[in-house]
Chain A
Amino acid sequence: MNWIDIGAVDEIPVRGSRIVKTRDGCVAVFRTGPDEVFATSDRCPHKGGPLSEGIVHDRKVTCPLHNMVYSLETGKAQGADEGVIETYPVRVEAGRLLLDGSRFAARGAA
């Protein structure tokens, strides 16, 4: 693990999201509760909708383009829909957001 401080957790409104730019494209960081965060790929595999712009409810997000609903925990599409989004380790410590950078750095080092 290579925890990178990406900012204060309060920078994201509760039930909101912000993106982080990486070599793998944009990662959406979701805040589902005061101290609860998840990180996934920002791109909906259906038509490329920006998930960070979707409505966050429970531990799920609804894509703003066509209402595909994804679990932020598993990355799996909910209900009858199919599709999976990438999930990334992220955590909150002392009010800071830490994202595991090893997933992105690996390619950078190569």
Chain B
Amino acid sequence: MTRLVVIGAGMASGRVLEHLFDAAPGAFEVTLFNAEPRGNYNRIMLSPVLSGEKSYAEIVTHDDAWYAEHGVACRFGERVTGIDRSRKVVTSAGGEVAYDKLILATGSNPFIIPFPGHDLPGVVAYRDLEDTAAMIEAAGTPGASAVVIGGGLLGLEAAAGLRLRGMEVTVLHNTGHLMDRQLDETAGYLLKKDLENRGIRVITSANTKAIEGNGRVERVVLEDGTTLSSDIVVMAVGIRPATHLGQAAGLETGRAIKVDAQMRTSDPDIFAVGECVEFDGTLFGLVAPLYDQAKVLAKTLMGEDDAFRVKELSTKLKVTGCDLFSAGDFTAGEMREDIVYRDPARGIYKRLVIEDDRLVGAVMYGDTSDSTWFFGLIKDGTDIEEMRDTLIFGPAFQGGGGAAADPLAAVAALPPEAEICGCNGVCKGRIVEAIDGGAASLSDIRAVTKASASCGTCTGLVEQVLAVTMGDAYASPAAQPVCGCTDLTHEDVRRLIKSRELKSQPAVWQELGWTTPNGCHVCRPAINFYLLADWPLDYADDPQSRFVNERNHANIQKDGTYSVMPRMWGGITTPAELRALADAAEKYGVPTVKVTGGQRIDLLGVRKEDLPAIWYDLNQAGMVSGHAYTKGLRTVKTCVGSDWCRFGTQDSTGLGIKLEKVLWGSWTPHKVKLGVSGCPRNCAEATCKDVGIVCVESGYEIGVGGAAGMDVRETEPLAKVATEEEAIAIVTAFVQLYRESAKYLDRPYKWIGKVGLDWVRDQLADAEIRAGLIDRFEISQSVYRKDPWAEHAKPDTARRFHPLADLNVEAAE
């Protein structure tokens, strides 16, 4: 009999033994060491044990009777301390055991991030039954709370289990969306929503600073100062192969113990299997490849030929009711195409990645019923060219089910009782009735049936019913959708972002049924603006959704250089500022210095790499960004007013400065320019600005909606007020109203043309509405009234303005 020693009684080695006893009973005399004081159990099912949906007894794979039956000498709770390869013995506290063949199945260790306090009692990993028991114990105290660090598979399963057991649970995840290695943003968003629906708090982009407590865990503190009270901290941030024993024995190791396709290490009598293995540069954490390895290793030990191959993997999150599936490869590779399917009403999202007429990746959320079929297509490399158009609908639609391919035919095939509008419970029959009764447009249908009058996501469907029922008589409405990614108009999107409280880009894409994974250059800047205008505290501005000028805080010129223009409040400057500007112009070789139409000084021709440095220099002289590049407040142009001018009626310069200090930094649908003239002679040309104030003896005349671009228009009177304070209040409220209701890229005059000046006047005349607008503007400004130059001149952000690498220099070295 071959003396076989196995170190580690996990799922991989357990499967090896099953194969051996099955195929060659009696051929091996097995000694099985395990550091844990028990035999093999189904470790991947610890999550349901934690949640109470399984019992430990159910997940035991091999019980004492099984080991006895196969004559396995069990050395459980006994850690192997060394391997002597020359004498072919392993050493443990119990002495030495000789082997003919040795299997290393030492698995992995949880990775613990060494935050301050990581070693406090109450900080657990999530790896074995002891950890699970500790978590169950902690959940026993009524009202106890838990913090889970790590929003991957394990962390989320832990969170769901602890919640089911009655704990208050917070998940901290360091990147922007959950399970970022397996899921794309939209699926991550849906998962977050699902977990929040279970009463679990999820904080993404969270940076843990420390774990604190007096003698045991009491709270977790984040970098931003957030403090979370916590009776237990579960750290589920990853695993590291346990290679120590193999390394100490002098086996070849990389990131783990290296094996060949027969699972043999660099020592021909020592094999390795499972999570401690590195094969062809790859590590293994999911169970399917471990079982493949076990099969190969058993064959190798029995002298048969077999070879391990790395295969595509798939994952399902083991949280009951959470339908999530991810498989295959989303990274690298050329010639890829995405097919995206969203059903916002049912919370369904599917994305297929196709390359070369073959399915290479799939993410599914909300409906994973076809996941096995898709995974089969990925594994087999099936040619899907023939079914490409209907692939996303799954196997049921292949081979003849033509309805799915043609949406109109699909709508025509719907029975009259099929529900079209979920919000108002309107079925197709009711809509057809309305059409028969004379309704001929979407707005008719809305008025008569209420269909599509609430959330609006069924608008397309209602239009299709109109088209199918009326045939050629139906004229599709002229409303312009935002772009090719959606059928919704800007107005629809703005309304839905507010009414449905959509607070992130993935939320918009999913809930409003975007047809692309993450929008395009047309919709992204608009959505980014709508989100930051409506949810300033919840949504963080996304520089990657901005045009180059706003992202780089400078205007790109036709030769690829930039212009730099600091703010000069109300058009007032000082000798010191002018000196600093002159110095900067010389230092950075600025070819052109120009006085602008808005009474500012512009430095043109600055190289991108120099931007942070020139900003830093101007910051040092007390100057900040002039936002000459934004859809936001540009300049407030003034005349000298009553301070110097013999005709001046009020302090127009002073009011201009005050307005600029209130409004600067705010983002608006399009650029906003102001002018304040000290008397009706209007030297500041205020009457062709977006907002123009003309001072008169009795106070201030505020006009809006002027323009002096391709369209030239005079402002229309909005209000006349007696004091500066009132003037500032009206202007602030006006800008906020514009921010809240205008379509992106509509200048104020265009917006006023759509909503009507009377409506704007009514809104601002209502003291309560006006106060609300000003409040919301100030809340937004608490985030955005700051100098972007100062932010970007910091060394780690400044680096982003430089090339990533210079291969010319490296080649020279």
Contact = CB atoms under 8 A, between A and B. Distances in A.
Interface stretch (B265-273, B309-317, B546-554): B546-554
A48 B184 CA distance: 33
A20 B803 contact: yes
A92 B545 CA distance: 24
Contacts of A15: 518, 544-545
A58 B517 contact: yes
A29 B518 CA distance: 19
A57 interface: yes
A73 B338 contact: no
What is the size category of the interface that chain A forms with chain B? 35 or more
B803 A57 contact: no
B498 interface: no
B338 A58 contact: yes
B566 interface: no
A105 B812 CA distance: 11
Interface residues on B, range: 35 or more
A22 B803 CA distance: 10
Interface string A1-13: 0001011000111
Nearest to B544: A15
Nearest to B523: A57
Interface in B511-560: 516-521, 524-525, 543-548, 551-552, 556, 558, 560
Contacts of B525: 55
B804 A20 contact: yes
Interface in B761-811: 799-800, 803-811
A90 to B, nearest CB: 9
A104 B811 CA distance: 10
A45 interface: no
Interface stretch (B206-214, B329-337, B677-685): B329-337
A57 B175 contact: no
A74 B335 contact: yes
Contacts of B306: none
B807 A55 contact: no
B551 A57 contact: no
Given A13-B544, A33-B184, A92-B332, A18 B803 contact: yes
B388 interface: no
A7 B338 contact: no
B543 A13 contact: yes
B807 A57 contact: no
B509 to A, nearest CB: 11
Contacts of B338: 58-59
A99 B334 CA distance: 15
A86 to B, nearest CB: 13
Nearest to B505: A15
B631 to A, nearest CB: 14
Interface in A18-32: 18-23, 26, 29
Contacts of A48: 560
A36 interface: yes
B367 interface: no
Contacts of A65: 558
Contact of B335 (A6, A21, A33, A73): A73
A99 B332 CA distance: 13
Given A21-B806, A21-B807, A58-B338, A53 B181 contact: no
B180 interface: yes
B807 A26 contact: no
Nearest to B334: A73
A64 B546 CA distance: 10
Contacts of B810: 4
A39 B107 CA distance: 38
Given A33-B184, A36-B331, A73 B336 contact: yes
Contact of B334 (A34, A56, A58, A74): A74
Given A20-B807, A58-B520, 12 more contacts: A4-B810, A7-B805, A12-B804, A20-B804, A26-B803, A48-B560, A57-B521, A58-B517, A73-B335, A99-B805, A105-B811, A108-B811
Interface of B: 175-176, 180-181, 184, 330-332, 334-336, 338, 516-521, 524-525, 543-548, 551-552, 556, 558, 560, 799-800, 803-811
20 contacts: A4-B805, A6-B805, A11-B800, A12-B804, A13-B800, A16-B544, A21-B806, A21-B807, A23-B808, A34-B180, A35-B330, A50-B556, A55-B545, A57-B516, A57-B519, A57-B521, A60-B520, A64-B547, A67-B521, A87-B334
